[in-house]
Amino acid sequence: MPVSPSSLTPSAIVTRLRAAGCVFAEDEAELILSTAPTPSDLASMVDRRIAGLPLEHVLGWAEFCGLRVAVDPQVFVPRRRTEFLVRQAVALARPGAVVVDLCCGSAAVGVALAAALGQVELYAADVDPVAVRCARRNVGAAGGRVYEGDLFGALPAALRGRIDVLAANVPYVPTEEVGLLPSEAREHEPLVALDGGADGLDVLRRVAADAPRWLAPGGCLLVETSERQAPLAVEAFSGSGLIPTVAVSEELYATVVIGSRPTGPSA
C-alpha cells in the first residue's frame, strides 16, 4: 500500500524496507533519504523499492569502483564483482589506450576504466536502445562514444586492429538457470543482458571468435564468467588464437578470462 510522505521518518522507512525483505534496510533507507529531492519523491521511491524494484533503479544510480553511475529502469545493474574485471584491465592498460566496453549496459565498466587510466579513447556498445541511452549519459564526461548494435557490428570499422582493451561483460547465465535468478534481475533487467544460451557461453564465443580482428597486437579481451564455465571459455579464447589466462577473486566471487592477441609476425 502506498505510504504517506508525512509518515516517512527514517525509522519508519527502515521498518517498511525490512518488512519487504530488504536485508540491508538501514543502509538502503539512508541512501534513499539522501537521494530523494522532495518528500513526495521519497514516498514514491520507498513504494517502488517495497514493490521489488532494484535499489539502483529506485535511486537512479549505482556505486561502481567508487563512482556514481547512472542506471535507468530496465538497464542491467552493474555488479560489485565486475569491479574485479576493471582492476584486471587497469593492470594491463596504459593512459591513452583505445578502450571498448562491449555489451556495455550503463557503460559502468568503460567509465571506471576511463577514470582509472586518465585520458583514454573510449567507445561503448550495446544491442539494447534503453541501455545505449543510459550509457550516453555516463560516458559524456569521459568524451566517449556509444553505439547501438549487435556486438562488433555496432562499432566503427576504423577500430579494427586498434583496440587495446576490450572489456565484454557478456551475459553468461545458462538459459535454464535464468529462472533461478533473484526476482529483481528476472523482472527488472533485460533478458538479453542475462541469458547466455544453453551453457551460458553463446555470446562469449561470438566475442572471442571476432576479437582478434579488432584487437591491436598485444591488446586484451577481458570477459567475466563463472568458475565452472572458465575452462570452456579458455577453450574458446584459444580456438580463436588468443593467449588465455584466468584471474579469480575469492573475495568478490569473480572469475575473469583474459585473452591477449599475440604481438608476433602472425598476429
CA-to-CA distance for 247 and 113, rounded, in angstroms?
A: 18
pLDDT at 2: 55
* Proportion of the chain in helix, strand, coil states, percent, rounded to 5: 45, 20, 35
Degrees (nearest 5) of the Cα angle 227, 24, 171?
A: 30
**Prediction pTM value:** 0.91
CA-to-CA distance for 54 and 183, rounded, in angstroms?
A: 9
For residue 118, what is the DSSP state? S
Cell numbers for 167, please give them.
572489456
pLDDT at 255: 96
CA-to-CA distance for 178 and 181, rounded, in angstroms?
A: 5
pLDDT at 4: 54
pLDDT in tens, 159-213: 999 999 999 999 999 999 999 998 889 999 999 999 999 999 999 999 999 999 9
pLDDT at 6: 54
pLDDT at 267: 45
Contact indicator for 214, 161 with CB cutoff of 8 Å:
yes
Nearest one of 150, 152, 148, 170 to 162, comparing CA atoms: 152
Q: Which residues does the chain have with pLDDT short of 50?
A: 266-267
pLDDT at 234: 97
Contact indicator for 165, 99 with CB cutoff of 8 Å:
yes
Chain centroid to CA 103? 8
Provide the 10 A C-beta neighbour count for residue 12.
Answer: 13
**Number of residues in the chain:** 267
